[in-house]
């Protein structure tokens, strides 16, 4: 399924480059407010960060696509029930998961100043370390597919954005019938970018 999605997106991006009416690249940085669904995690949100690059490919004055590559940190607080699942990670304050996220966003620009964006985001788990004291590697799958939507202000070359990503895939990788609960990510991103 993921290979088919990657193939479709690659074909779409290739066609978009051939018909692009405007093309810009840039960098961005911002904050993540993250959490995971499931009783093994506190239901509050924790802070992380993201940074990376993007390309704006406008197919007309009103719409285009924006592929990105971001280094993104998900930070969650485990509950006492997580300690029972992973005694080796008991009493840890937070678990930090570092992803390389690849969003491919449809951009709709009703006016020059504002863009609305929606699309899939593919997350590849790169570092499963729980700070310096443990390793949560066996608890999390290596990929996360999300749906992302948000808005962006376009001020000359500057971009100010806010968006929300909801996980579509279960990232619980503990092989235990008693823990068949689904863990899905949820992330609010706020950041700034600069298009060149």
**In whole numbers, what is the pLDDT of the chain averaged over residues?**
79
Q: Which CATH number applies to 2-195?
A: 2.40.160.20
What is the pLDDT averaged over residues 161-169? 93
Spatial separation of the C-alpha atoms in residues 170 and 139, rounded to whole Å: 11
Query: Which is more confidently placed, 136 or 41?
Result: 41
Contacts of 55 (CB under 8 A, 6+ apart): 23, 24, 25, 26, 66, 67, 68
Confidence of residue 191 (pLDDT cuts 50, 70, 90): very high
Residue 136 near residue 86, CB atoms below 8 Å: yes
Spatial separation of the C-alpha atoms in residues 57 and 104, rounded to whole Å: 11
What are φ and ψ of residue 140, in 5° steps? Answer: -130, 135
For residue 76, pLDDT beyond 50: yes
Give the pLDDT confidence score for residue 81 in this predicted structure. Answer: 59
Spatial separation of the C-alpha atoms in residues 143 and 140, rounded to whole Å: 9
Residue 173 near residue 128, CB atoms below 8 Å: no
What is the pLDDT averaged over residues 13-17? 57
User: What's the pLDDT tens digit per position in 94-108?
Assistant: 778 888 899 999 999
What is the pLDDT averaged over residues 112-119? 96
Spatial separation of the C-alpha atoms in residues 128 and 193, rounded to whole Å: 27
Residue 44 near residue 79, CB atoms below 8 Å: no
Query: Structure pTM?
Result: 0.76
Give the pLDDT confidence score for residue 50 in this predicted structure. Answer: 97
Confidence of residue 125 (pLDDT cuts 50, 70, 90): confident
Please choose, from the candidates 148, 4, 177, 156, the residue with its C-alpha nearest in 3D space to the C-alpha of residue 66: 148
Give the pLDDT confidence score for residue 134 in this predicted structure. Answer: 40
Give the pLDDT confidence score for residue 146 in this predicted structure. Answer: 93
Give the pLDDT confidence score for residue 135 in this predicted structure. Answer: 38
Residue 168 is given by DSSP the state: -
Spatial separation of the C-alpha atoms in residues 170 and 107, rounded to whole Å: 27
The share of the chain scoring above pLDDT 90, in percent, equals 43
């Amino acid at each position: 399924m993921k290979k088919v999605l990657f193939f479709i997106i690659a074909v779409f991006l290739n066609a978009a480059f051939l018909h692009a009416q405007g093309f810009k690249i840039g960098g961005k940085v911002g904050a993540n407010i993250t959490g995971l669904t499931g009783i093994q995690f506190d239901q509050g949100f924790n802070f992380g960060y993201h940074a990376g690059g993007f390309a704006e490919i406008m197919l007309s004055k009103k719409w285009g696509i924006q592929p990105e590559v971001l280094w993104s940190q998900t930070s969650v607080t485990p509950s006492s029930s997580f300690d029972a699942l992973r005694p080796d990670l008991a009493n840890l304050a937070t678990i930090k998961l570092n992803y390389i996220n690849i969003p491919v966003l449809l951009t709709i620009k009703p006016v020059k100043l504002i863009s609305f964006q929606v699309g899939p985001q593919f997350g590849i788990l790169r570092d499963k370390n729980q700070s310096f004291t443990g390793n949560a590697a066996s608890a999390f799958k290596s990929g996360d597919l999300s749906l992302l939507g948000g808005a962006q202000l376009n001020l000359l070359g500057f971009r100010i954005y806010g968006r929300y990503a909801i996980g579509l895939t279960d990232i619980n990788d503990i092989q235990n019938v008693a823990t068949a609960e689904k863990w899905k990510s949820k992330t609010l991103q706020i950041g700034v970018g600069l298009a060149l």
